[in-house]
Amino acid sequence: MNEQLARLAAAIENINDWLGRQVSWLSLLMVLVTFAIVVLRYAFDLGWIWLQESVTYMHATLFLVGAAYTLKHQGHVRVDIFYRRFSPRTRAWVDLFGSLLLLLPVCFMIFHLSEGYVVQSWELWEGSREAGGLDGVFLLKSLILLMAVTLALQGLAQAIHCYLGLNGHQTLSRDQRQS
């Protein structure tokens, strides 16, 4: 049972790690596209709405798809006043309860509240409000649901690691999982 839980946590983390590494390339692409927009506008007096909107799409995708990756690698902002002084066992309890009582309910709420919003967007094949803009707003809004699912799964993986560690089973510590 514990071995299966450890494999499940590892599989979830592998998926989120892969997604995060793939989407991280958007940060470089955003810089290049933004540079191109500035050069085209100020040097050649050219501009296209779809090109400007593409930066917004890339930015949203980077944050929504990369949220679980960031959680896995402890990149989210944390108020560490007490946490850093806790023993590894107390940290595991804090992480376990934080995942189960805070993170997972918030992810489920985000999914639940966004589901109708995304479905309506798909029904309309919602596109840009601007003439010449990108016609994939419905795809962009779908990433909200993906973010809620991947973040919840990463929270589950974190909870599994904490549970296994608290029960004396060999599992990677938070610091080992971070590297």
Domain boundaries, the chain: 2-178
Find all residues with CB under 8 Å of 44, minimum gap 6, and list them.
Answer: none
Between 23 and 179, the higher pLDDT residue: 23
Q: pLDDT confidence of 169, banded at 50, 70, 90?
A: confident
Length of the chain: 179
Per-residue b/e over 131-165, b at no fewer than 16 CB within 10 Å?
Answer: eebbebbbbbbbbbbbbbebbbbbbbbbbbbbbbb
Query: What number is the average pLDDT over the span 75-91?
Result: 82
Q: Which helix (H) or strand (E) holds 153?
A: helix 137-166
Find all residues with CB under 8 Å of 104, minimum gap 6, and list them.
Answer: 152, 155, 156, 159
In this prediction, residue 170 carries a pLDDT of 62
In this prediction, residue 7 carries a pLDDT of 94
Share of the chain above pLDDT 90, in %: 80
Average pLDDT, the chain: 91
- From 85-89, 151-155, 157-161, the region with the lowest mean pLDDT: 85-89
